[in-house]
Amino acid sequence: MTKTDKRNVLVSGSTSGIGEAIATAFARDGATVVINGRDRERTEAAAERIRSATGHDGLIPVAADLGTAEGTQIMFDAVPHVDVLVNNLGIFGAVPLFEITDEEWRRYFEVNVLSGVRLARHYTPPMVKSGWGRVIFISSESSLMTPSEMVHYGVTKTAQLSVSRGLAQEVAGTGVTVNAILAGPTLTPGVATFIADRVGADVPFEEAERRFMAEERPGSLLRRLIRPEEIASLVHYVGSDAASATTGAALRVDGGLVPTVVP
């Protein structure tokens, strides 16, 4: 057992998928975990699922749209301090490059990049003062291999790497670590819908998953979608005392999709 059970953990966008799995992993340690989503009912339902799965009562559901400055202020007011910040909130979707509007470019940047910037700008300085903290950005293999069907998404994921590395340099030597996680294609509700749209809603999911990985992500060595719990395992480690010498890094949990030995 580490000191995690005495710490506050905020996981943005944690009402399903990777975010919920990450929140569950920290809840199992006994940490106070802030669950976040835009919709109050969904946020409270996610907190109840995690409570049932872990037997842990230290869950704080906060409904706030962290893709906006106004929503972020709601979070600041509700949760003044965190020890571990996991910037998981993100959106994605397939759009032909020449059809991505200025409005969509801005929306993706606001949600995928500025949400984490705002949260880190607020919560990191107190971590520095206390001499301990963890800031984690959930990026993607798309940060290194821009997907042609969603260039705007890939751009935001690459931007996260720059923010993460820059922040790590800013807090060097303080006891606060900052890292990015390069998550590969993961079986979340959003990805299941994405695959159904691309392969065909009438195709059984196991076959749709196989086709998607073979045709659109053929470089994967795992040759299946990653499960959210597999991403959460790495995030949980990076957010722990055990990862004290890991900072300024882009850590891959991509199923071997990126065809290099370094990020």
- Residues assigned a catalytic role: 153
Crossing angle, helix 151-170 and helix 115-130, to 10 degrees?
Answer: 20
- Type of residue at 252: R
DSSP state of 98: G
Task: Kindly tell me the burial class for residue 228, based on how many C-beta atoms sit within 10 Å of its own C-beta (0-12, 13-18, 19 or more).
Answer: buried
Give the helix ranges, DSSP H, for 55-146: 69-78, 102-109, 115-130
Q: Which residues lie across from 138 on neighbouring strands?
A: 181
DSSP state of 245: T
- Cβ–Cβ under 8 Å, residues 23 and 11: yes
Q: Which residue, 46, 34, 45, 39, is CA-closest to 63?
A: 39
